[in-house]
Structure 1
Amino acid sequence: MTPFGPQLLGETEKALGAVLARVLDSTGLTEQQWVTLRLAGQNDGRAELVGFIADRAHSADAERIVASLTARGLITGNRLSPAGQTLLDDLRARVDSAAAPIWRDLPASDVAAAERLLNTVAGRARSVLAEWPSS
């Protein structure tokens, strides 16, 4: 058993990423494009999308990724197009179905504790990144 820390978090992220990659295989989307679609779905259209994506996904390629999704008709302006929303909804359902065996039957108290801990770790990581000098 891997002890809690960066290695365990990395192993977990890689395993979950592999499940996601299998779902995305048939769509031609990359993981970065998937993340961008999800974030675009959270943007109400008021925020400039490239900046919103760059900030939230810590992506230096946000402009290129948004442009590629715009070219596919999945993003219009600063939000998802109707086709983008349909694809996002379909993919969310497929990801949820593929990941269901991972999450099924986990004790609610363990899930709540993991959620608190991972949100704390993520918040601290964002704080460290915010203080890091820009390159």
Structure 2
Amino acid sequence: MKKASGGAADKKKVRRSIAPDDVPPKKQASKKDVLQVFAEKVRDNKDLVSRWSVLQETRVEYFRGKDFVNFIKNHPEVKNVLESDSNLEAEEIANILLGKSLLVRCDRVVKTVRPGKKKLSTWPAHLEIFPEMDNVI
């Protein structure tokens, strides 16, 4: 037997837009940051090996920095998305993405080898945000 729904449950769900209503949808897409498009294109590409890990109690997808550098060198067509910045080196691109907070530099939580093992895992299961060395005196 179904219950009759109350007044509060009858409210319609309204989808809210972040962008102003007077801008047509196509213009919103063209306003999207070039670096954001580049980051999405890199993330969606299957040739960049990435794994899942836990960062501050949240599951995140991550890749290694040296894999990113090799990916950029081997896939120049991805750099073409950057338009005027397409002649930058991979390290410079990574630094720009770090500055825009599109990438976060992380480090493994466990830095010691477990007993009975010979080396650290290539893909750690737990990460922490890399501590900034600028503040250390």
TM-score by length of 2: 0.28
* Higher Cα radius of gyration: 2
Higher helix share: 1
